Structure 1
Amino acid sequence: MPQLALYTFGVLKSPLADPAPLTQEFYEIGEVVYQEIGRHPGYIAHAEPADHSRGTLFDADWGAWGEFAVPPWYHKGRTAETTALAATLSLWTDLRPAFDAIYSGLHRTALNRRYDWFERPEHPNYVSWWVSDGVIPTWQDGVSRLEHLHDHGSAPHAFTFHHSFSPDATPTRTSGIGPKSDRGR
Structure 2
Amino acid sequence: MLGSRVAIYNFGIHVAAYDAPEIEGFRLREPLNFEAARCAAGFVARSGYDGEPGPPSWGKQVFPRFLSGSGHETGPSSLSLWEDIESLMAFSYGGVHAEALRGARNWNLPQRWPPFVLWWVDPGHRPEWKEAVKRFEYLHDNGPSPYAFNFKQPFAANGDVAVIDRALVKQKAQINEAAQRELLTRLKSLGV
User: Equivalent residue for 2:12?
Assistant: 10
Contact 2:50 2:60 in 1 (8 A): no
CA distances 1:127-157 after superposition (whole Å, capped 9, x unpaired): 0000111111011111110111011100000
User: Equivalent residue for 1:181?
Assistant: none
Q: 1:67 aligns with which of 60, 67, 78?
A: 60
Counterpart secondary structure, 1:8? strand
CA distances 1:22-65 after superposition (whole Å, capped 9, x unpaired): 31221111111111111001001111135416xxxxxxx72xx1
Q: Which amino acid aligns with 1:17?
A: D
User: Equivalent residue for 1:180?
Assistant: none
Deviation at residue 88 of structure 1 after TM alignment: 0.2
Counterpart secondary structure, 1:70? coil
User: Which is richer in helix?
Assistant: 2
Counterpart secondary structure, 1:73? helix
User: Equivalent residue for 2:46?
Assistant: 46
Deviation at residue 176 of structure 1 after TM alignment: 3.6
Deviation at residue 175 of structure 1 after TM alignment: 3.1
Identity within the alignment, %: 26
Contact 2:138 2:148 in 1 (8 A): yes
- Number of residue-to-residue matches in the alignment: 161
Counterpart secondary structure, 2:63? coil
**1:77 has 2:66 as partner:** no
Q: 1:89 aligns with which of 79, 85, 97?
A: 79
Counterpart secondary structure, 2:62? coil
Q: Which amino acid aligns with 2:59?
A: G
User: Equivalent residue for 1:116?
Assistant: 106
1:22-171 to structure 2, matched below 5 A, reads: 22-49=22-49, 51-52=51-52, 62=57, 65-75=58-68, 76-78=71-73, 83=74, 85-171=75-161
TM-score, normalisation: structure 1: 0.82
Deviation at residue 72 of structure 1 after TM alignment: 1.0
Give runs of ≥4 in structure 1 deviating > 4 Å: none
C-alpha RMSD of the superposition: 1.6
TM-score, normalisation: structure 2: 0.80
Counterpart secondary structure, 1:129? strand
